Amino acid sequence: MEALAGYWQPPSAIERGPYEARLRGNWPVYYDSVADLHPPQPRHTADQPDVTIFSPYRDPRTRSACLAVHTAGMLPAPVPDPVFVIRDLGWFERVREPGDPAYLVVNPGSPCEGVLPATPEGRALWRYHFEKSDRPVGLAHGVVRIPWPGTSREPSPRTTGGRPRRAWFVCVRRRPPSHG
């Protein structure tokens, strides 16, 4: 496995787990590794907690509709629309409805890609791995990450000499305590 691992460098520790699990063909570990997933959302719906719009694509390998999701290190370059929200396998299992895409594709087209079936058996696996997860490396939940359209040219510890860098705003949504 070490020889194969040298061909692709995962962008973060978050992708290393699913990548190595996929190399070994260890799908239970793969499922355990994909705690936080980021589906794209139209900007106008991202701040509405009860609204999620799935934008499936047709995958030629599965010959069916699939929903692409990404781990944090595999998110595409920021653009004003769409934005990416944080969800987990348990959430996808809970909100799935008849007619939703047949597969959840994690990091499509990458060496750490996973095609997770949305059959009743597949969703039971999602739920099982979510419930046993200790939620290792990931980002805060209840947070919407919004790419700021443009760059910043101020020198900072991350950029020297005023080189452009992408700016992000992070909005934290606090839920009121439940009384029940």
Note the pLDDT tens digit of each residue in 60-83.
Answer: 999 999 999 999 999 999 999 999
> For residue 112, how far is the Cα from the chain centroid?
12
Higher model confidence: residue 52 or residue 2? Answer: 52
**How many Å from the N-terminal Cα to the C-terminal Cα in the chain?**
51
Q: Is 37 left (phi over 0), alpha (psi -120 to 50) or beta?
A: beta
Residue identified by tokens 């499922």 is 31
The answer to whether 118 touches 125, Cβ cutoff 8 Å, is no
- Taking the whole predicted model, whether its pTM rises above 0.75 is answered as no
pLDDT digits (tens, 9 = 90+) for 105-151: 999 999 999 999 999 999 999 999 988 876 544 444 444 444 444 44
